[in-house]
Structure formats: structure tokens, C-alpha cells
Amino acid sequence: MRILICMKVTDVQKIKTAFQKAFRGMFRSVPAILIVVLLISLLKTYVAADSIVRFFGLCSFTDTLLGALFGSILAGNSINSYIIGSELLSAGVPYAAVSAFLAAWVIVGIVQLPAESVQLGMRFAVTRAVAGFFLSVGVGLLLALFFRTGLI
């Protein structure tokens, strides 16, 4: 509050204008956020963990790619990732696939792309998603290499 008192009157008007613009931007993004939440809920409802486990076990590279692909499509938050990772590991999914899955699960989020493109621009959102996918694959392959060489 002391900061506002020390500022010029024109600066206070700029702050009010900035808050109004921010509120309008948040209000415009509500429909996109609701769509993302609904899509994630539908995917989580109709895609069971058992159906995901069937696809793994071919080789480290294929498992990592599949893990990153599934994680990119089935976006989620990091809180849920611990539980999902534990369940996938206990079902026999390799560590490399689980790490790629969880990295892409948190980083990529194809389902969130429409909302993100509204807020940040399509070019940035797609670039971030593609980079996140490749980083997720890299994490999985590094983990596979570490397990194969006995570093972990």
C-alpha cells in the first residue's frame, strides 16, 4: 500500500488498467480451461491403466517412444504421476518407458494445447510441446542406458 501512495497518480491508473486487462484475459480463457478439464476427465475415464500396460515390453527405444506418446496424449499433473508411475512399475512396465511417460505426462500435454495456444500463441505452444516430447524421449533413453550399464 505504501508503494501505491508513493507513486504518481498516472502510475496508479496504469496499474488499474493492467488489472482490468488481466481480468479480461482470465475471463476469456475460462472456456478453454473448462474444455481442457473435460477432455482430460474423459481420457482418464475411458483409458484404463491395464490397457496401457499391454503395449510395453518390446525394446527400450520402442518402450520409451510409446511411453512418451501416451504421456503426451494423457496429460496430467505431477501429483498424480507418482501414483501412476508406481502402478505402471508394479505392472511390469520398464523404468525407461515409465520415466518417458511421466515426463511427457507433465511436460507435453497435447490435450492442453488448445488452451495454451489461446494464451501463449500457437507457434510457442507447438514448439514447447514438440521440445517437451523429445526431451521426454531423451530422459527415457538416458534412464534405459543407465540401467543397462548398471549406473542406477
Residue 147 neighbours by CB distance under 10 Å = 14
Question: By C-alpha distance, which of 107, 140, 139 is closest to 125?
Answer: 107
pLDDT in tens, the chain (152 residues): 555 555 555 577 888 888 888 888 888 877 767 776 776 677 667 767 667 667 777 778 888 998 899 888 877 777 677 777 887 787 778 888 889 988 998 888 888 888 888 888 899 999 999 999 999 999 999 988 888 776 66
> Where exactly are the structural domains of the chain?
7-149
> What's the count of helices (H) and strands (E) in the chain, helices before strands?
8, 0
Spatial distance between the Cα atoms of 17 and 30, rounded to a whole number of angstroms: 20
- In terms of Cβ atoms closer than 10 Å to its own Cβ (0-12, 13-18, 19+), residue 119 is middle
Distance between CA 67 and CA 71 in Å, rounded? Answer: 6
- Which residues have C-beta within 8 Å of that of residue 110, sequence separation ≥ 6? 72, 73, 75, 129
